[in-house]
Amino acid sequence: MLNIDDTVNPVEPFLRSDRMPHIWCPGCGIGTTVNSFARALIDSKIDLESLALVSGIGCTGRVAGYVKLDSFHTTHGRAIPFATGLKLANPKLNVVVYSGDGDLSAIGGNHLIHAARRNIDLKVICVNNLIYAMTGGQTAPTTPGHATTSTNPYGTFEPAFNLPHLVEAAGAVYVARWTTFHVRQLARSISEAFQKKGFSFIEVISPCPTLYQRRNKMGDGLDTMKYYKEKSKVKHGTPTSEVGLTLNGEIAVGKFVDRDRPDYQSMMRAQYVESLGERYIEEPEVECVCG
Amino acid sequence: MKADPHGVLTGTHFIDGDHACCEGALAAGARFAAGYPITPSTEVVERFAARVPTVGGTFIQMEDELAASITLQGAVWGGAKAFTVTSGPGFSLMMEHIGYAAMTETPCVFVDVQRGGPSTGLPTLPAQADMMQARWGSHGDYEIIALCPNSPQECFDLTIKAFNLAEEFRVPVMFMMDEVVGHMTEKVVIPPADQIEVVPRKHTRKSVEDYLPYGSNGDMVPEMAHAGEGYKFHVTGLTHDERGYPNMTPQTQDKLVRRLQNKIRAAVDRICLFEEDGIDSADVVVVSYGITSRVAQRAVQMARERGLKVGKLRLITAWPFPDQKIAEIASKVKALVVPELNLGQMVREVERAAQGKAKTIALPHAGGGVHNPDQILNAIVEAIRC
């Protein structure tokens, strides 16, 4: 394990310090989530060498570039299928998908539901800033009704996805939501997800002061923290059908789903053993890619 | 190194090109495939799905081709040799990830069993109309390698070659079959594993401290590490420096993109495979590839029976294009006849490489069938008469 020296920031060993400063705006919540993630890694004493992190494209997609892990910055929407291949090829890896709401639920929405259905053993951290931030504040499938965006300058009118409800329905074994105000609870949830086998999904509501809060006259990063503090209500175990977000309303947070069902690789193994018996060979017997 | 005997179905078989391709992949050491069903290619992964649990490996049927084409790349970085199989419409969906594989230098194989297009086109009938897409389909500047088998035996042999080239150059290799080659059943001889040469991954032996994920090592092909080995490397589709870190400068872009191109171009002589016959004494040479080369073979035979001096050049490697070979031939003959199952794709390359030294005659076919040998014969006769 890492020897934590109290003269340095405890999360520093988890970061690529040579890539700082990062690109995120003042008041952005993504860095806060990375802090909670790093603390979860410390708390859960997870082996960092067997941990891989996969991101898609967007502001949150840049997380992969800042963590000192085997890290993959993939294509837009495809972090989950990339992570699926990584996990299946090397089941010993702990694979984290760290991406944004647009990446995971719009362009990558199909992969999100299918990975949850298959119960692939992935830990998905979805930073939800309710908008496409990297490209300048366009409407996302998560943007609450009536919010102003650059592509809905007169207010959005499409219904938004309730992501916890979506992934629960698709089969996720662990579903939680926090905001960037809830740094300790978020770290605890991430640690818990590492203990689960199967598709875990943690949504983090996070400010985009530059494009979402400013355009909707919601103040700056600090005002958003106050808003999160005021409007969040811890509702562990509440039905996910009731946790949809509105523009100014309550934010239900907590652990909504924690259940067990066999993950993809266990099911695959069981099926092959049943059908093939001793003919089933789980791992390649000869290392075919050694250099 | 030699092939892993577990994957090699040594013996004489009577199988179609799709199945032979699967056996080639297994012999080459592929232990991971991600696919999505599409005619006329599905038999490749159907066989893989049946075979791989008895060999040690994984097949996953993904939700679409976008997923399949990136899932396989995750598997490569997890340590597997991996591939996907598709046809035109699916190939179109995979283009972004061909670019990702080129940019991140992920060794992998994309099999495209070509059918008539555009769009849904002719799902069950042949074409060779994805040849330019294979080369240029993803955005930006990059190089790939493309091979064109013309028989089930070659579907086996050249699939191994495709994996070997992918590993040697860390590049996505396009395996350009067509519906006829995929569905034609012929004798396929699979040799013993110890007679099959397999190129292992270019895995780094450097320490964590010394490892530079995108260092060019003199031969322009960086050494690779896998996730979980302690290297803590970063991979991105963004323009990146030798550390793999994003770097948005024209200098880094120039250095990276030129290396991606040059690592293939510098090795063209080694990568370009072709079959030639009777070129030295020929007045006209038929240039063909894939299933069309089988028809061209018949036409060349018929022409020779009439006493005509006809040579044959079969492109086994379509990309990179063998410019020099074509230029050499063009300087010796009157004309090059290029039959293909599209309305003019590789013929443009032939014409460009011939540099006007010989006349280039296109023999297009819109797909859905193959040429009649008489059509090619007539073109030969005409070319000689001119």
List pLDDT tens digits, range B175-213. Answer: 999 999 999 999 999 999 999 999 999 999 999 999 999
Structural tokens at position A186: 């978020």
Note whether A114 contacts B: Cβ–Cβ < 8 A.
Answer: yes
For chain B, positions 83-122, list CB contacts with chain A under 8 A.
96-97, 100
Q: Is the dihedral of CA B379, B380, B383, B384 positive or negative?
A: negative
For chain A, which residues make up each domain, given as ranges? 12-260
- Cβ atoms of residues B113 and B179 within 8 Å: yes
Task: Report residue A256 CA to chain centroid gap.
Answer: 15
Q: Which of B156, B179, B195 is the last residue of a domain?
A: B195
Q: Is residue B136 part of a domain?
A: yes
pLDDT of amino acid B219: 85
The amino acid at residue A236 is H
Q: How does residue A8 score in pLDDT terms, banded at 50, 70 and 90? A: confident
CATH number at A12-260 = 3.40.50.970
Residue B244 φ/ψ, nearest 5 degrees: 90, 5
Most B-contacting residue of A14, A75, A97 (CB-CB within 10 A), to test interface: A75
B38 and B157 assigned to the same domain: yes
Q: Is residue B265 part of a domain?
A: no
Q: Which segment of A4-8, A93-97, A139-143 scores lowest on mean pLDDT?
A: A4-8
Q: Is residue B70 part of a domain?
A: yes
Residue A291 above 50 pLDDT? no
For chain A, positions 83-112, list CB contacts with chain B under 8 A.
83-90, 92-93, 110-111
Residue B146 φ/ψ, nearest 5 degrees: -130, 135
Nearest to B158 by CA among B330, B355, B249, B25: B25
Which residues of chain B make contact with A92, given a CB cutoff of 8 A? 228
B32 and B123 assigned to the same domain: yes
Of all residues in chain A, the percent with pLDDT exceeding 90 is 93
Nearest to B284 by CA among B350, B370, B379, B355: B379
Buried b / exposed e over B119-128, threshold 16 CB at 10 Å, is: eebbeebbbb
Separation between Cα atoms, residue B72 and residue A81, nearest integer Å: 9
Q: Is residue B233 part of a domain?
A: no
Q: Is residue B165 part of a domain?
A: yes
Structural tokens at position B149: 């088998």
For chain B, positions 226-265, list CB contacts with chain A under 8 A.
226-238, 245-246
Number of domains in chain B: 2
List, run by run, the mean pLDDT of 10-residue segments along chain B (386 residues).
Answer: 96 98 98 98 98 97 98 98 98 98 98 98 98 98 98 98 98 98 98 98 96 90 97 98 97 98 97 97 98 98 98 98 98 98 98 98 98 98 91
Nearest CA in chain A to B231: A70
Note whether A38 contacts B: Cβ–Cβ < 8 A.
Answer: no
- Among A71, A75, A90, whose Cβ lies nearest the Cβ of B96? A75
B183 and B289 assigned to the same domain: no
Q: What is the CATH number of the domain that holds B356?
A: 3.40.50.920
For residue A121, the tally of other CB atoms under 10 A from its CB is: 24
Residue A2 above 60 pLDDT? no
Q: pTM above 0.90?
A: yes
Residue A4 above 70 pLDDT? no
Does A85 contact B78 at a Cβ distance shorter than 8 Å?
yes
B161 and B285 assigned to the same domain: no
Q: Which of B195, B228, B258 is the last residue of a domain?
A: B195
B185 and B298 assigned to the same domain: no
Q: How many CA atoms lie within 13 A of A189 on its CB side?
A: 31
Angle, vertex CA A180, rays to CA A179 and CA A184, nearest 5: 95
Q: Is residue B203 part of a domain?
A: no
Task: Report residue B187 CA to chain centroid gap.
Answer: 22
- The residue segments making up the domain with residue B377 are 275-385
Q: Which of B136, B171, B195 is the last residue of a domain?
A: B195
Instruction: State how far residue A228 is from chain B, nearest Cα, in angstroms.
Output: 33
Residue A1 above 90 pLDDT? no
- Please list the alpha-helical segments (H only) found in B240-372: 250-265, 268-271, 291-305, 323-330, 346-354
Structural tokens at position A30: 């993504």
Q: Is residue B247 part of a domain?
A: no
- Among B31, B73, B202, whose Cβ lies nearest the Cβ of A284? B31
Separation between Cα atoms, residue B325 and residue B242, nearest integer Å: 35
- Cβ atoms of residues A122 and A99 within 8 Å: no
Q: Helix (H, G, I), strand (E, B), or coil: what is residue B297?
A: helix
Q: How does residue A287 score in pLDDT terms, banded at 50, 70 and 90? A: low
Q: Is residue B242 part of a domain?
A: no
**Each residue's pLDDT tens digit, A170-198:** 999 999 999 999 999 999 999 999 999 99
Nearest to B85 by CA among B155, B143, B135: B155
Nearest CA in chain B to A92: B228
R_g of chain A computed on alpha carbons = 19
Q: Which residue has the tokens 């030969």?
A: B380
Separation between Cα atoms, residue B246 and residue B263, nearest integer Å: 21
